[in-house]
Amino acid sequence: MAAFEDRRQAGKRLAERLTRYAHRKDVAVLGLARGGLPVAFEVAKALHAPLDVFIVRKLGVPGHSELAMGAIASGGVRVMNDDVVRSLSITSDQIETIATEEQRELERREREYRGDAERMDVSGKTVILVDDGLATGASMRAAVEALGQRQPEHIVVAVPAAAPSACRAFENEVDEVVCLVTPEPFFGVGAWYRDFSQTTDQEVRRLLEEARSPTPA
C-alpha cells in the first residue's frame, strides 16, 4: 500500500517533521531535480524558507540505466558505487561515456531551470537537502559532497521514503537525517507513491518561479 498520494503530499508530511527549522533566516531548502523539487517546494513553503534547485544526475549501469553505478552533481563532483562497478565489470571507458552524456544533461538543466537567476548562497546556512526518496543513495551522496564545497553550516538530508540501509548510511555523513518511512523490503522509491509520474522540466520551472515570487499563486 502506498504511503503517499503524490510528491507534494509527501512534502507536506515531511515538513511536519521539520517544523523546528521554520521561520529561520539561516535555513535554506534545496530540492534534487527533478523528482525532489515538488517535495522540496512544500517543505520550503511550510517552513517559510527560500527554495532552490540542486541538480544531480545518476550514472546508470550500461544497459540497465535504472541501476545506479554512481552520480554527478554541479561543481564537478562524481561519486561512484565501487561495489556495483566491480561486480558488473564496468570499464573506465564505459563510465566516461555515460558521465559525459550526463554532464551535458546536467548543464542543460542548469540553464533550463535557473535562467538568469543566481545560484542561492548557502554559505554558513543550515541546508535541508530534499529528494522524493533514497534507494541506493548515490544521487544524494553526490549532492552532499557537492554541497559541502559551498560551505554550509549544517546539512540535513530529508526524504519521505528510503531503504533502511540508505537512510542509515547518511547518519555519519550529515548533521541530521529525516526519513519518514523506511520499509523493508524497500522495492524502490516509486512503490511508496500512488502517483509517481515523472516530474517535467516545466513543473520544476513553475515551482521555482512560484517560490521566488513574493505573492505566490
- Residue 76 confidence (pLDDT): 80
d(CA 98, CA 108): 16
C-alpha grid cell, residue 44: 520550503
Type of residue numbered 112 = E
pLDDT at 81: 85
Strands 51-61 and 64-73, by their bridges, are: antiparallel
Binned at pLDDT 50, 70 and 90, residue 215 comes out as low
Q: Say yes or no to pLDDT of 28 above 50.
A: yes
Least confident of 16-25, 36-45, 69-78: 69-78
Q: What is the pTM of this model?
A: 0.88
* Angstrom distance (rounded) from CA 130 to CA 158: 5
Cα 22 → chain centroid:
20
Residue 146's Cβ-side half-sphere holds a number of Cα atoms within 13 Å equal to 22
pLDDT digits (tens, 9 = 90+) for 101-110: 999 999 999 8
The set of cell numbers assigned to 208 is 521555482
Domains of the chain, CATH where assigned = 7-55+120-212 (3.40.50.2020)
36-47 and 201-212 helices cross at what angle (nearest 10)? 10
Residue 165 or 64, more confident: 165
Residue 47 — φ and ψ, nearest 5°?
Answer: -90, -5
pLDDT per residue as tens digits for the range 165-208: 999 999 999 999 999 999 999 988 999 999 999 999 999 999 99
What per-residue confidence (pLDDT) applies to 216? 45
Question: What is the C-alpha separation between 59 and 184, in angstroms, rounded?
Answer: 25
